[in-house]
Each structure stands twice: as structure tokens, then as C-alpha cells.
């Protein structure tokens, strides 16, 4: 796993830091960095909520001098169509950012629909294990929360491996640590997750159950 320097908005904050690059987003990062090689002046970037897709898009704008349209699938179709044409005319790259691939967007304008069918599309996927572990640690570090060294791996075995779940769980545990004045141990994490109704996606290892 590598990293590129750009503002990273984990937990919604505009912080200066390093955007973590792993198998989950490396293809998207490489595609944006090679914007000069795009066959068209337009591309689409998609990814799950909290995946950093908008942050990466803003980095693309600063890097390329181009433009971006966030939440593109929810925008007016004529706005998208005119932005597309302007990008081709001005040769100024345009990045459309959405939640799902453009093939799933509801588009009534035939000309826009045909353009979206031809556009290069790259996606950020849900985090792989290395990225998930790093995001858990980063969230606690950004919050200034003290935590046990084994906590990220302990959480990885018990929560859904998604950006949304990581965000929700780390917020919950940070709040629990603040309210209790305790370091985030696996014991505190277990108490807080049980109280909040979080259930493990992967059952705990029976060999460690008596130690937790």
C-alpha cells in the first residue's frame, strides 16, 4: 500500500495528509494521474460513500486544471450534456463523480446516454484488508484517541469491511472513549459495539474468545 499527498477528508474534515492507495483505489488513482492520455476529455469516477471519491476528484482538479461534477448522477441532464461538450471543445478535462457506474444512471437524453456509454469509468471498491486496517488506525489518530495496538485487527474480524462501517464504528468508539475517559481497548470496544447493536459479520475466533 502506498500513499499520495492531498487533503484527506476522512470523517468529513478537510485535513492535509496522505491519501492511502491500495488495490481498492489504485486503478482510479492511476487513471486520474494519466489524464493527458484519456481518449476523451471526460471520465467518470465512482465509489461507495466515505471512500474518498470526492477528495480524489478535487486532487484531480488541482493536478490537471480541469473541472469536476460531484454527485453527477443526481445533476440536471442538460448541465451534464453541456459540461461534456465544453470539455471536448476546450480540451479541459472533466471528471464526473457518482455512486454507481453510469450504465445504472437514469438518463432520458439520448445524446447524453450515448456519451456516457462511451466514457472511461474507474471505480473505487470497498477497502481491502490492508486499507481497512489503515483507515481504522487513521480515524483514531485523527481523533486523538488512544487505542490498543491490537484494536484495528480485532475490529477487522468483527465489522463489515466497508468505508461506511469503519466510519460509524470509529466514531462510536471515539465517543465511548471520550465519555468514559478510557483508552480504547478491545474490552471497551466490545462493550460499546454490543450496546449499540453492532453484530459481527465474521464470528470471533473461538481460540481467542476466552481472552476477550
pLDDT (tens digit per residue) in 63-90: 999 999 999 999 999 999 999 999 999 9
Which of 8-22, 101-115, 142-156, 172-186 has the lowest average pLDDT?
8-22
| CA–CA distance, 73 with 68 (Å, rounded to integer) | 13
- Inter-residue contact 160 to 180 (CB < 8 Å): no
The arithmetic mean of pLDDT across residues 110-127, rounded, is 95
Q: Domain holding 70: CATH number?
A: 3.40.50.300
CA distances from 137 to 96, 120, 152 (A): 30, 33, 6
Claim to verify: residue 18 and residue 103 sit in the same structural domain: yes
The arithmetic mean of pLDDT across residues 188-202, rounded, is 79
Claim to verify: residue 92 and residue 63 sit in the same structural domain: yes
Claim to verify: residue 116 and residue 83 sit in the same structural domain: yes
Q: Which residue intervals of 53-109 are DSSP H helices?
A: 53-64, 77-90
Residue 58 belongs to domain spanning: 2-123
pLDDT score at 5: 41
- Inter-residue contact 94 to 41 (CB < 8 Å): yes
| CA–CA distance, 68 with 149 (Å, rounded to integer) | 39
Claim to verify: residue 85 and residue 14 sit in the same structural domain: yes
Claim to verify: residue 36 and residue 119 sit in the same structural domain: yes
Claim to verify: residue 75 and residue 113 sit in the same structural domain: yes
What count of Cα atoms within 13 Å lies in the side-chain half-sphere of residue 51? 26
pLDDT score at 10: 33
Claim to verify: residue 15 and residue 117 sit in the same structural domain: yes
User: Looking at the predicted structure, is the pLDDT value of residue 150 above 60?
Assistant: yes
User: Looking at the predicted structure, is the pLDDT value of residue 53 above 90?
Assistant: yes
pLDDT of 164-188, one tens digit each?
999 999 999 999 999 888 899 999 9
Claim to verify: residue 25 and residue 40 sit in the same structural domain: yes
Claim to verify: residue 9 and residue 72 sit in the same structural domain: yes
Instruction: Provide the domain count of the chain.
Output: 2
Q: What is the mean pLDDT of the chain?
A: 86
Amino acid at each position: 500500500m502506498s500513499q499520495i499527498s492531498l487533503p484527506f477528508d476522512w470523517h468529513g474534515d478537510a485535513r492535509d495528509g496522505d491519501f492511502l492507495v491500495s488495490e481498492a483505489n489504485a486503478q482510479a488513482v492511476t487513471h486520474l494521474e494519466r489524464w493527458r492520455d484519456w481518449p476523451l476529455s471526460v471520465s467518470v469516477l465512482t465509489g461507495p460513500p466515505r471512500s474518498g471519491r470526492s477528495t480524489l476528484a478535487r486532487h484531480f482538479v488541482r493536478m490537471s486544471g480541469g473541472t469536476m461534477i460531484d454527485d453527477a448522477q443526481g445533476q440536471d441532464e442538460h448541465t451534464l450534456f453541456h459540461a461534456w461538450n465544453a470539455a471536448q471543445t476546450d480540451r479541459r478535462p472533466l471528471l464526473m463523480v457518482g455512486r454507481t457506474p453510469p450504465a445504472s444512471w437514469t438518463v432520458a437524453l439520448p445524446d447524453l446516454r450515448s456519451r456516457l456509454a462511451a466514457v472511461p469509468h474507474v471505480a473505487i471498491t470497498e477497502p481491502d484488508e490492508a486499507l481497512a486496517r489503515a483507515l481504522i488506525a487513521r480515524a483514531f489518530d485523527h481523533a486523538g484517541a488512544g487505542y490498543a495496538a491490537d484494536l484495528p485487527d480485532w475490529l477487522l474480524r468483527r465489522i463489515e469491511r466497508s468505508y461506511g462501517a469503519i466510519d460509524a464504528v470509529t466514531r462510536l468508539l471515539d465517543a465511548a472513549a471520550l465519555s468514559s475517559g478510557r483508552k480504547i481497548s478491545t474490552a471497551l470496544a466490545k462493550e460499546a459495539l454490543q450496546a449499540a447493536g453492532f453484530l459481527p459479520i465474521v464470528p470471533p475466533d473461538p481460540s481467542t474468545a476466552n481472552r476477550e
